[in-house]
Amino acid sequence: MTSADVHPMATGHIPGYLPGADGSDPLFTGMAIFTVALIVGLGGLYFTLHALPEKMAHHGNHTQFQLISILAVLALFTHNNLFWVIALVVAAFRMPDFLTPIQSIAASLEAMNKRDQSEQKD
């Protein structure tokens, strides 16, 4: 190309981010790959974050594991964060065991009752 064919306002060099004459566009290709990788990465982070209450309940051998799982799935499908927060709170704190002492008291009262009945028969 002779200097007469070049436009007088053209620069001496062409920046690398412009597409080539053959139609290749390296900046667009790089950004497309970056965008897909970002979407996949954020999706993985989102699902990992949503599984956090279930992982906490599973590692802690939690008694309300099914309730926590249901709340986490509801939060995932409804996008209602309140379900996820409730699942996280339930997974983080153990409910006190009220049933075992009451059963022990009931068993003791039953044993006392049987002993009193056997003494009355004698």
pLDDT tens-digit profile of 104-114?
999 999 999 88
Q: Is the pLDDT of residue 3 over 70?
A: no
For the chain, the domains span 62-113
Q: Which residues of 65-96 are buried (b: 16+ CB within 10 A; e: fewer)?
A: beebbebbebbeeeeeeebbebbbebbeeeee
State pLDDT tens for residues 9-32: 777 777 777 777 787 888 889 999
Instruction: Round to whole Å and give the CA distance between 44 and 31.
Output: 20
Q: Is the pLDDT of residue 4 over 70?
A: no
State pLDDT tens for residues 62-96: 778 888 889 998 998 898 889 989 998 988 887 77
Q: Is the pLDDT of residue 38 over 90?
A: yes
